């Protein structure tokens, strides 16, 4: 573990004991999975101070941490929701909402009270519709990137939005990054 290898690190328990107040943890599922064992080792009093924000489904969160995980879900990204963004920044956006709207209203609230406030906020929102996009092969996506290169001025972020929103093509962000790089390399090689 990094905390044992780095001379500059402190164990989470040590840090938590130095400071009072809520412990706000905003992490994507992969990182939460990685640090969950350390968080679970915290003393019981520290658990009650925890508020966890993630897109990880509640059934995948360790049982000891589930009560302290705020119930933000896909409705948070619904049509007209005030804190819209990407899936990659979901945890941070949920944390921002929590701090601005819930924690300020209930600074001494228990985790149950905070979770109820999140549920009440989400009750007014609807989950966004799931788009039904076409699935294409890597070669087909690279062909579209070449064909529409000038349309987006060769900008990868605009290209991904163009593929998804204008051409209705399904392409996961990591896959797109690799395909865009391949198309860019092909364009350089043809010059």
SS3 86: coil
Look over the chain and give the mean of its residue pLDDT values, rounded to a whole number.
Answer: 92
Phi then psi for residue 50, to 5 deg, are -70, 140
Question: How many helices, marked H, and strands, marked E, lie in the chain?
Answer: 9, 4
pLDDT exceeds cutoff 70 at 92:
yes
**Contact criterion met (CB below 8 Å) for 13 and 41:** yes
pLDDT band at 164 (very low <50, low <70, confident <90, very high): very high
Phi then psi for residue 128, to 5 deg, are -65, 150
Between vectors from CA 31 to CA 57 and to CA 17, what angle results, nearest 5°?
Answer: 105
Specify the pLDDT at position 23: 95
Specify the pLDDT at position 10: 80
- E strand map for the chain: 23-26, 50-53, 134-135, 169-170
Q: Report the predicted TM-score, pTM, of the whole model to 2 decimal places.
A: 0.72
- Taking only the tens place, the pLDDT of each residue in 33-59 is 999 999 999 988 999 999 999 999 989
Specify the pLDDT at position 77: 92
Between vectors from CA 13 to CA 9 and to CA 18, what angle results, nearest 5°?
Answer: 85
- Taking only the tens place, the pLDDT of each residue in 105-159 is 999 999 999 999 999 999 999 988 888 999 999 999 999 999 999 999 999 989 9
pLDDT band at 7 (very low <50, low <70, confident <90, very high): confident
């Amino acid at each position: 573990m990094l905390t044992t290898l780095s001379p500059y690190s402190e164990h989470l328990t040590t840090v938590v004991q130095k400071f009072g107040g809520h412990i706000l943890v905003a992490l994507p599922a992969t990182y939460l999975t990685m640090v969950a064992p350390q968080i679970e080792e915290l003393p019981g009093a520290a658990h009650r101070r925890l508020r966890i924000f993630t897109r990880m489904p509640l059934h995948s969160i360790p049982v000891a941490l589930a009560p302290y995980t705020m119930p933000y879900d896909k409705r948070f990204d619904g049509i007209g929701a005030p804190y819209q963004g990407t899936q990659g920044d979901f945890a941070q956006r949920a944390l921002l909402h929590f701090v601005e709207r819930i924690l300020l209203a209930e600074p001494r609230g228990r985790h149950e009270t905070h979770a109820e406030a999140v549920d009440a906020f989400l009750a007014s929102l609807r989950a966004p519709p799931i788009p039904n996009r076409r699935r294409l092969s890597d070669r087909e996506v690279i062909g579209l990137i070449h064909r529409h290169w000038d349309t987006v001025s060769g900008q990868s972020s605009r290209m991904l939005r163009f593929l998804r929103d204008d051409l209705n093509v399904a392409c996961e962000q990591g896959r797109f990054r690799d395909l865009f790089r391949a198309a860019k390399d092909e364009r350089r090689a043809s010059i």
